Chain A
Amino acid sequence: MNWTRRSFLKWGSLALVGLGVRPGAADSGTAEVPRFAPLSKNLKGRRWAMVVDSRKCPPGCRDCIEACHRVHNVPDFGNPKDEVKWIWNEPFKDVFPGQEHPLLGEKLRERPILVLCNHCDNPPCVRVCPTRATYRRPEDGIVMMDYHRCIGCRFCVAGCPYGARSMNFRDPRPFLKAIDPRFPTRTKGVVEKCNFCEERLAQGLRPACVEQFRPVAGFIVQWLIGPCQFEQLVRHARQQ
């Protein structure tokens, strides 16, 4: 066959075009488009709120704390310096420093009050997070953590005014009595906090601490549409 320069360039460039087309053609049949189905039985809220009626908390009771820490694989390191906590008791005087008054009795000042992440409207932990591992869900106000992204810088620990964030200074797995397989554990160097049981809300269940609460104690979880609904909620808790 007598190749001229012209025909060589023609066929050569055609072959190159063919090479460029082939991978695209091979992929087009198997290209994957993510498809997600909507949840049907999840609990939806525009802004979640939880009312804890501390008058009804039996003294020394830790049922809800243990329930939360059990389902979320929260480790017990056995010393307060490394403590990891999602929900815990704090003396009244430290929870409400603005309520300090000389005539407050010692009993009330030291009374344990149940506290957890406040899921703030304008959360400082979200503002300081450099990787956006902590973020606020706009649809229901839950301040969530993506442990995959946490780099353990602890800006959020410093930023949270309520001490609701805990750092895993050590590998938590050896300090778990039992691991609940439905929820992941964390690793060393990751910060964690209450997630308002968003994984349970997605299944249509109320938060673990609320479920654990004894019927005598007033622990109510509700979603808010407006501020007046919150007042109703508190009034309802008072009447019980």
Chain B
Amino acid sequence: MYNGGKILAGLLVFLALGSSPFWYGGGGRSASPPALPLDTPGIRKLTAKQCVEPAPYMKASHMTLLETWRESVVREGNRLYANQEGKQFSMSLSQTCLGCHSNKEKFCDACHSYAGVKPACWSCHTVPPEGRP
């Protein structure tokens, strides 16, 4: 190959530079998802440790649920939500959700910053003192 040494060296430098963000970010290891602590006074008080809906649904679709709640409360004037077992909850982010998950910084924020999402809920809705940074 004509000038083979220079070309191969150049390619190596290019590969090293091009892949540098991956090495810089931990050598290809994926970041481990945050552990979400459930040890809050509100949850300790519960006899059955059960969220509004089953945990897998809440993990995957809590944003959809909250959006439905928002539309239902503000636009349609509904206030109560009945889950699959028929148990009723007040549709309130600050009262119902944060009533149990009062550790907002460790519960909501930890996962949101891991997933790189910035929900605008907290610019208006209030956070209990123990969940503030």
Interface residues of A (CB under 8 A from B): 30, 32, 34-39, 42, 135, 137, 139, 144, 146-148, 179, 181-182, 184-187, 198, 202
Contacts and interface: CB of A to CB of B under 8 A. Distances in A.
Interface stretch (B36-44, B66-74, B107-115): B66-74
Interface of B: 53, 56-57, 61, 64-65, 68, 70, 72, 74-83, 88, 91, 94-95, 123-126, 128
A34 B74 CA distance: 15
B124 A36 contact: no
Nearest to B78: A36
Contacts of A39: 78-80
- Prevailing SS type, chain A contact patch: loop
A168 to B, nearest CB: 11
B79 to A, nearest CB: 5
Contacts, number: 59
7 contacts: A30-B57, A36-B72, A36-B91, A37-B88, A39-B80, A179-B126, A185-B126
A147 B124 CA distance: 9
Contacts of A186: 124
Nearest to A33: B84
Given A36-B82, A146-B75, 14 more contacts: A30-B57, A34-B72, A34-B81, A36-B78, A37-B88, A39-B79, A146-B74, A148-B70, A184-B124, A184-B126, A185-B124, A198-B77, A202-B77, A202-B79
A202 B78 CA distance: 9
A36 B80 CA distance: 6
B66 to A, nearest CB: 11
A181 B57 contact: no
A182 B94 contact: yes
Contacts of B123: 187
Contact of B74 (A32, A148, A182): A148
Contact of B64 (A32, A137, A147, A148): A32
A32 B95 contact: no
Contacts of A187: 123-124
Given A32-B57, A34-B68, A181 B124 contact: no
Given A32-B64, A148-B74, A181 B126 contact: yes
B77 A32 contact: no
